[in-house]
Structure formats: structure tokens, C-alpha cells
Chain A
Amino acid sequence: MLAVDLLLTLAALATAGQCLLLPGLFRAVANLMAFGLVMALIWVRLDAPDVALAEAAIGAGITGALLLTAVGQLPASQRQLHHEHYRVPRRFIPMTIIVVFVGGVLWATMLALPKVGLVKEIAAVLPESGAEHAVTAILLNLRGIDTLLEIAVMLCAVAAIWSLQRAIPPPALELNYPGLTTLARWLHPLFLLTFSYFLWQGTHAPGGAFPAGAVLGAGGVLLLLTGSIGWMYRHYYNQLLRWLLAAGLLLFLATALAGLLMTGSLYGLPPQLAGYFIIAIEVAAALSIALMLMTFYLFGRPRS
């Protein structure tokens, strides 16, 4: 397995290095997407399948789509990174010294770090949490407040983007790429199937709200790109879109308050009902994550 580890390390270093050092904005973004895929493989190697699923959909898919669309909107003068290229030799020695020093300190710290962990504590409370898979139990019950705040962060990001500018209209691709629209429509059932599978699997195996939401969001971005979702751009549906975006956070808050009423502590779910609560939160969180990832892709408020 050492060969696989070495190969993954070299691939990650190569893609990250090309992303940070070589000229050309498009090349840098493409390398970042490749880096995301390599990271997904590294997560699998490190026994973190949940993280791998989310990274493959978000790190390699949605971040890349956001960056490529943004690069496409920039004027031609801003798309070049070549002026950095000529400055590299002069700075090469101090930069290498800093990289070696910071990296060495981090590595030594990391190797000396005591790894205590909460394995036994989590295993002890897992039967009462309502989910058999530990990561889902932590995300939606034990540390549900983190997920609540994270969805609030996403909603704030959507609000910030909407207050900046109007949405970028979808490109008219039908004339130049007639196959793309059809392909996106044919692929979408596959995205829906994967979404449902991850969601159903989340309570007892790797999967759950985050990977499911990321996969549905990636499929939605593909549909937005081909102009198959017209309603998100229309003023008439603006109010509905706002309610849908807020729905996940509102349901989450309602659950937290219900826990406060039933057990006396915020987000304290009663063990006999926790399973139902987790399923409800999981569906709501996955759908709102997917919708918010899609609204990021609009880069602004739908036209009014």
C-alpha cells in the first residue's frame, strides 16, 4: 500500500503545485479540480468515506463549476496570470525556505500530537442517538448545533451574493451543443437515484445529508448550465425560492426548539423519537444544501 500512498501524495503535490505556480487561469482551475479528485481518493485511503463522497461532489464538481463560470465572465485582460511567471525566479529561494520551515514545523507538530479521540464516548451514546452511523449521529444529533450554524452560514452566503448583483443568465447552449441538454436530462434521474440512495443509506452507513445534498446540487448545476431550470430565474417564483432556501434552517430551528420543550435542553432529542427527527432533518438539510449550492451558481439575485 506504500506505493499507492506515494502515488497519491505525488499526484496531490503535482496538481496543487501546478495550480499555484503555473501561468494561465483556466489551467489553474482545472488543476484545482483534479486536486479535488485526488483528495477524494486520499479520503478513501484514510478510511473517511463520508468526506470522500462530499469532496468528490463539492471539491471537484461544484467548486470547479463556480470557478470556471466566474473565469468565463471576466474580461480577457483579467484571465491571464502570466505576469507572475517572471517573478518566480527572484522569489524562488526565500519562498522555498519559508515552505520548508513552515512545513517542517507543521509536520513535527503533527507527528508529536497525542491522538486521544472520542471513540469510546461516541460508541457509548450511539444507541440513543437515533442513527446507527456515527458520523450521521454526530452531524444531526450530538453536534446538531454545528450543522444548524453551517446551514445558517450558507444562507448568509446566499443573502450576500443576492445583495451584490443580478443573476448571470444561463448561456444559450442549445444551438452550439444540441446534445448537452439531452444528456443533462438523461443524466438527471441518475443524480436523483444517487441522492435517494445516499439519503436512505445515511442512517446506517457512509452517506447521509451532506453527500446527498452535494450530489443533487451538482446535478442541479448541470441542469442550470443547460438552461433546463427556468423557474429559478423568474421573478414570479422568487418568493417561493426564498421560502425553499429558508426551509431547511427553519425546520432545523423548530427541531432544536422542540428538543428544548421535550427534554429541557436545546437540541436535546428524546431517544425514542430521535430516529424520526433525524430522518426529517436529514431530508430537509440535504434538500436545502442542494438548493443553496445551485443558487450559488446563479452568482446573484434572479432577475426582477
Chain B
Amino acid sequence: MITTMTQSLIHVTGTTDALFALLASILAAMALVSLFTARHLIRRLLALNILSSAVFLLLVLTARTANGIDPVPHALVLTGIVVAVSTTAVVLALYLRRYRREPPC
């Protein structure tokens, strides 16, 4: 029953969307598991970056409506990319602070 349901859904949304939705789901799941289990903090940061990419992919997929491409999720993703790089920079600066001998300013 599940397979017929999936097939009918794929038929509605199109193969490309279904394939990239599967990719985004797997990436999100892998990144979540890695985010919680990785020992090295940099690895967790990499997992966070991959997780944000997966979420952006899901958002862009929702933009492909029957009426055409919806530009609102694209704008959201553009904002999200810049916020993600800001987060990465702050986390890296915090992490480096542990290993630098210089006094804080």
C-alpha cells in the first residue's frame, strides 16, 4: 500500500522533485545523527552546515508549485545562507579562542 501511495505521490510531484526530496531527507538525517554523535567540535560544525544545506534544499523544493516558481523561498534561502556563514564564523572564532595564548582584548 505504501509503495502505491509513494508512486502516486511521485507521479503528482515529478521525478526530479521526488529524487531531490529524498536526497535532502537523507542528508538531513545523516547530518542530524552526526551533529549529535560526533566527538570533534569541527565535525559537528560541518554537520550543521550540511544540515542547513538540506533544509535549504527542502525549502527550494517547496517553491516549485503548479503555478510556476515561487520566489519567496528563494529569498529566504539567500538570507539563510548568509546567516549560516555568520554562525560558522562565530563558532570557529569561539573554538580558536580555546587554543590561542594571547590575552583577550
Q: Residues of A with Cβ closer than 8 Å to B?
A: 1-2, 5-6, 9, 12-13, 16-17, 19-21, 25, 28-29, 32, 35-36, 39, 42-43, 45-48, 50-51, 54-55, 58-59, 62-63, 66-67, 70-71, 73-75, 78, 81, 83-84, 91, 95, 98-108, 110-113, 115-120, 122, 134-135, 137-139, 143, 146-147, 150, 153-154, 157, 160-161, 163-166, 168, 210, 214, 289, 292-293, 296, 299-301, 304
Query: 1/0 per residue B16-42: CB within 8 Å of A?
Result: 101111111111111111100111101
Residues of B within 8 A of A28 (CB): 42-43, 46
Residues of B within 8 A of A (CB): 6, 9-10, 13, 15-16, 18-34, 37-40, 42-43, 45-47, 49-50, 53, 56-58, 60-72, 74-79, 81-90, 92-97, 99-100, 102, 104-105
Residues of B near A102 (CB, < 8 A) are 25, 28-29, 32-33
A126 to chain B, nearest CB (A): 9
A-B contact pairs, 30 of them (CB 8 A): A9-B23, A13-B27, A19-B46, A28-B46, A51-B77, A62-B85, A63-B84, A67-B42, A70-B96, A81-B39, A81-B40, A98-B29, A100-B29, A106-B24, A110-B58, A116-B65, A117-B72, A119-B67, A119-B68, A134-B71, A135-B75, A137-B71, A150-B82, A150-B83, A154-B83, A160-B90, A168-B96, A296-B86, A299-B92, A300-B93
Give 7 A-B pairs besides A120-B67, A122-B70 with Cβ atoms closer than 8 angstroms: A28-B46, A111-B9, A119-B65, A135-B75, A164-B94, A292-B86, A299-B93
- Contact check, B27 vs A29: say whether CB atoms are below 8 A apart: no
* A118-B70 in contact (CB<8A): yes
Taking the nearest CB of chain A, how far is it from the CB of B45, in angstroms?
Answer: 8
A17 touches B30 (CB 8 A): yes
The answer to whether A104 and B79 touch (CB under 8 A), given A5-B19, A48-B63, is no
Query: How long is the Cα–Cα vector from A26 to B49 in the complex, in angstroms?
Result: 16
Q: Given A70-B96, A81-B40, A98-B29, do A51 and B49 touch, yes or no (CB 8 Å)?
A: no
